[in-house]
Every structure is written in structure tokens, then in C-alpha cells.
Amino acid sequence: MPELPEVETVARDLQRRVAGATILDATVTWDRTIRHPRPPERFATEISGSTIRRVGRRAKTVLLYLEDGRVMTVALRMTGALIVTEAGMPPDPYARVVFRLADGRDLRYRDVRKFGRIGLWSGGGLRSVGAGRGARSRRVAEGSRRYRIGEVFSGHGPEPLARTFTVARFAERLSRRSAKLKTLLLDQSFIAGVGNIYADEALWRARLHPLRAADTLQDHDVKRLHRAVRQVLREGIANRGASFSDYVGADGEPGANAERLAVYRRTEQPCYRCGRPIRRIVVGQRSTHLCPHCQPEPVASAGT
DNA sequence: ACGCCTACCTGCTTGC
DNA sequence: TGCAAGCAGGTAGGCG
């Protein structure tokens, strides 16, 4: 479900609804949801009594900044959702962690497929990551180490909507890679936050074939792709995300962006630009949608 | 670096 | 109707 626009929507909803709220306690019903600290009882103990200062996002992860400087990370993966419920709502069989808030509401982490992970970290080091080249602190040994939020994102690529993500920077990164564009857009260490939906949408908008090798792009191709990536993400946010099946924002409302997608899950339907049918192929084990006419197949090689 | 595979999980849709 | 296969927005780890 969640790519950058969906996660951003969740984070904004939560900022509005739980910033300032205090967590009384937490109940974990699926242990593996808790990534750190382990065991989950320790997580529950350590989060209890914390007040949420503000809510943000990095890549596809929701960040809940606590008053004491620590940060709770929630990676929703495929089916995770953070939902605020009023007191007295019926229990949710898919709730994996329930945070009871002091005002009587619940903050529920719901996750049908159980892929999502929650962590609680000491603050610090996030800024350098957001800026890009993190110094990556490999130092401390397991056991005695203090887990810092910065380490969680040390391997991530740039935020595509950041001002620092310029065409020049994108061009430089692309020029050093020979991988397929689709694969690279999904690679979180190359660029953070893009997933299967928005990768396909951006490539269609930029008229680039998913199998095109990154280092074969001309300057004008890079410029179009840069603009396309940022546009589809911004439009996704404006529409509160794309919803298939179980994605919802923090207030339980689905997003409206699914109907506005040009290629994703539109196999055999007419391309909005040329009217020819959208095709589905598989790239890197992920289903990939494109218009074969608007996004011409890259030629094998040979200069010509 | 790159590509492919398996694993993690459950539910919904499709086809026989 | 029933049942099995195929599909799903994500990512980590292993192998060649």
C-alpha cells in the first residue's frame, strides 16, 4: 500500500490528531512487529508515558518524535496502517500494536500481512541522512550500542521532494548506474520513497521505458524523469494517496489517487496519451505497466 | 553492480 | 460451489 505519498498522508493526519498526546501504554499482539528494542515487552515499557511532540516522515517510514528526544519509527511495508480511534471502538483483529492514549483514544497499528516494523530509537543523526551522504557510524558493537535514529536511514538515498534533490544530482547518480530504470527507482538506496505505483507512473509521464539502462539517458531524458517523479509524488500527496484494498489514512479514509493513475493496474486499457492499450510486463519480479507506443523499447545496443 | 531467488504473511480474485 | 493458483503498494538476505 504505502509509498511516499501514502506515508506522507498518514504522517500529516497523525500530526493533526496525535501531536501532543501522551501514550499511556502499549499492547503488542504480534511480536515480530517490534524491531527494536527487543523483546517487545521492553518496547512497551519504554514507550509508556511518552508524549508525542510531532509526526514526520522519512522515505516510506512514519516518524513519531517524542518529547524526550527519542523517535518511534513505523515502517508500514505492504499493508500497515496507523489509525486513531475514539474510545470504545470494537477491537480490530488485525491490530498488531495498540497504543492507549491518555485522552481515551487508541492509536492502532493495523497490519494484515505483518510485514511492517516498529522501532524506538534515541534521537540524533537524522539530519545528515536527510542531507544525503551519511557518515554511517559502524562503530558501536552489538549489545552495548545505543541505537540511534540516524542509523536506521544511513543506507537510504535522497528524498525526491527535497530542494536538494536537483536535476544535476539525479543526473549524476543515474550516470553511474547501468541498471534498468524501473529497478533503480524501486531501489531505496538510490532514491527514497518511490514504490511500484509511482515508479510506473513516473516512467510513463517521462516517456521512458522501464528497461532502459540508467546510464543511457540524455540530459533531456533526465530532466523529464526528474520532473515526472516529483510531479507524480506531489499529486499523490494532494490526492491523499492511492488506495487499493486496505490502504487508509489515519482517520480511516481512503485516498483518491488510484483513479488518477495513468498506467498502474490499467493493463489493456487505453493510454491517455495515444489510446493504445497499456501493457503489463515483469521487471525484477515486480509487475510493471507501460504504454509500448509512448515508452519505446530501448534498442539492444550498438551506436547507430 | 546487477539480477534473480526465497522468505516474510494473509486475503482477494481468477480460472477450471 | 469448491479449490488451487496467482496476485498484491515492500524489503532483507543469499547466490552467482
* Total residue length of chain A: 304
Q: Answer whether any strand C atom is within 7 A of the Cβ of A98.
A: no
Pick out the nucleotide with least CA–C1' distance to A4. C9
What pTM does this model have?
0.92
Query: Which residue's C-alpha cell is 510493471?
Result: A288
Find the Å distance, CA of residue A197 to C1' of nucleotide B4: 22
Sorted by sequence, the CB contacts under 8 Å of residue A183 that are 6+ apart come out as: A283, A284
DSSP string, A119-179: EEEB---HHHHHTS-------SPTTTPPPBHHHHTTT----TTSTT--HHHHHHHHHT--S
Residue A129 scores a pLDDT above 60: no
Neighbours of A236 (CB within 10 A): 26
- The pLDDT of residue A18 is above 50: yes
* pLDDT over 70, % of chain A: 90
The gap between the terminal CA atoms of chain A, to the nearest Å, is: 42
Q: Is residue A19 scored above 70 in pLDDT?
A: yes
Residue A133's pLDDT is 31
How many angstroms separate the CA of A290 from the C1' of C12? 28
Q: List the single protein residue with the shortest CA to C1' distance from C11.
A: A77
| Grid coordinates given for A12 | 500529516
Give residue-wise pLDDT tens across range A217-243: 999 999 999 999 999 999 999 999 987
pLDDT tens for residues A151-182? Answer: 889 999 999 999 999 999 999 999 999 999 99
Q: Which residues of A are catalytic?
A: 2-3, 60, 286
Rounded CA Rg of chain A: 20
* pLDDT tens, position by position, A38-51: 999 999 999 999 99
Q: pLDDT category, A304, cuts 50, 70, 90?
A: very low
User: Across residues A73-81, what is the average pLDDT?
Assistant: 96
Task: Identify nearest nucleotide to residue A184 by CA to C1′ distance.
Answer: B2
Cβ A120 vs Cβ A72: under 8 Å = yes
Q: How far is the CA of A284 from the C1' of C15 (A)?
A: 16
d(CA A198, CA A8): 14
Give the nucleotide at minimum CA-to-C1' distance from A1.
Answer: C9
